[in-house]
Homo-oligomer: A and B are copies of this chain.
Amino acid sequence: MQRNTVQKRLVIDTLRSMANHPSAEMVYEAVHKENPTISKATVYRILKEEASCGELLGIDVMNDVNRYDHRLDPHWHIRCRKCGKVGDVEMLGGVGVNDYAYPDVWTPERISVSFEGLCPECSKEK
């Protein structure tokens, strides 16, 4: 049965306080400031674990490392192709798994939508 450790609480609370869709590395750095003895492997382990049990959200941005999100409600992400910043994208219609045609008899379970583009700052520069 799952145990309640200081490391686990710190990683989860830290992620919840970050609004910038951090990578595991970024969470590690933030956590490390609070508690310099916590190891990188532990941070990776906790993030992966908690994402798979739904305690937090692991997100999937094109051509990038895995990132994590404090928001748990349905929404997608856009990544700036210049600076790599990630922003939230809201779903307007309810486009889902049934709006596509699958090969043969595959069973679709999960859909992921991601975007690439330019963030406000990088659009300004020409």
Residues on A lying within 8 angstroms of B by beta carbon are 60, 62-63, 76, 78, 80-81, 87-93, 95, 97, 99-120, 123
Contacts and interface: CB of A to CB of B under 8 A. Distances in A.
A87 B106 contact: yes
Given A93-B99, A99-B92, A112 B109 contact: no
Nearest to A105: B120
A28 B113 CA distance: 29
Q: Interface majority SS on A: helix, strand, loop or mixed?
A: strand
Contacts of A76: 100
Given A60-B62, A116-B112, A123 B104 contact: no
Contacts of A118: 106-107, 109
Contact of A102 (B87, B106, B114): B87
